């Protein structure tokens, strides 16, 4: 698949993931359907990201640049922690803004590649 297709998968999954997670944490409602949507979209963020890596020339097994490691850590943190927080905390506007900040950090890493 092309760079453009992987990017579409990546961005669309990010929109769905944060849309659903944001609604869950603001609304204090994290049930079966939200779990499925965040789980599937989180996986698709990774699939799109891996495809993009291949398309921009990061070889399989090569050492990841730091900007990519930061994105990977943000993804892992959100994918593992967000569902637990959403379920345990119920409604939390503060955690919503933490999610927004992490999303901004991951996006900034890809856009500016500061290191
Ligand atoms: C929640 C987590 C993530 C967010 C919010 C995010 C956000 C973004 C955004 C907005 C772009 C487009 C940048 C641009 O067009 O200039 C992008 C590109 C990219 N992302 Fe992610 N991303 C996330 C996770 C990941 C993960 C886990 C990986 C790796 C497995 C990854 C790898 C990439 C790559 C390789 C690009 C292409 C960079 C380029 O075209 O130069 N991303 N990401």
- Annotated domain spans of the chain: 3-112
CA distance 32 to 92: 19
Share of the chain above pLDDT 90, in %: 87
B/e letters for 101-115, b = 16+ CB within 10 Å, e = fewer, are ebbeebeebbeeeee
* DSSP notation for 56-73: TT--TTPPPPHHHHHHHH
With the most atoms of ligand 1 within 8 angstroms of its CB, the residue from 8, 9, 10, 20 to mutate is 10
86-96 residue pLDDT tens: 778 889 999 99
For residue 68, pLDDT beyond 90: yes
Short-list 41, 52, 51, CA closest to 75: 41
């Amino acid at each position: 698949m092309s760079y453009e297709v992987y990017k579409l998968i990546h961005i669309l999954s990010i929109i769905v993931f944060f849309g659903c997670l944001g609604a869950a944490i603001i609304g204090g409602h994290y049930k079966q359907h939200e779990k499925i949507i965040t789980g599937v979209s989180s996986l698709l963020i990774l699939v799109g990201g891996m495809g993009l890596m291949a398309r921009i020339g990061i070889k399989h097994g090569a050492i990841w640049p730091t900007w990519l490691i930061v994105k990977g850590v943000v993804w892992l943190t959100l994918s593992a922690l967000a569902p637990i927080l959403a379920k345990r905390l119920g409604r939390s506007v503060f955690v919503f803004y933490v999610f927004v900040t992490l999303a901004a950090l991951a996006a900034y890493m890809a856009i500016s590649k500061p290191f």
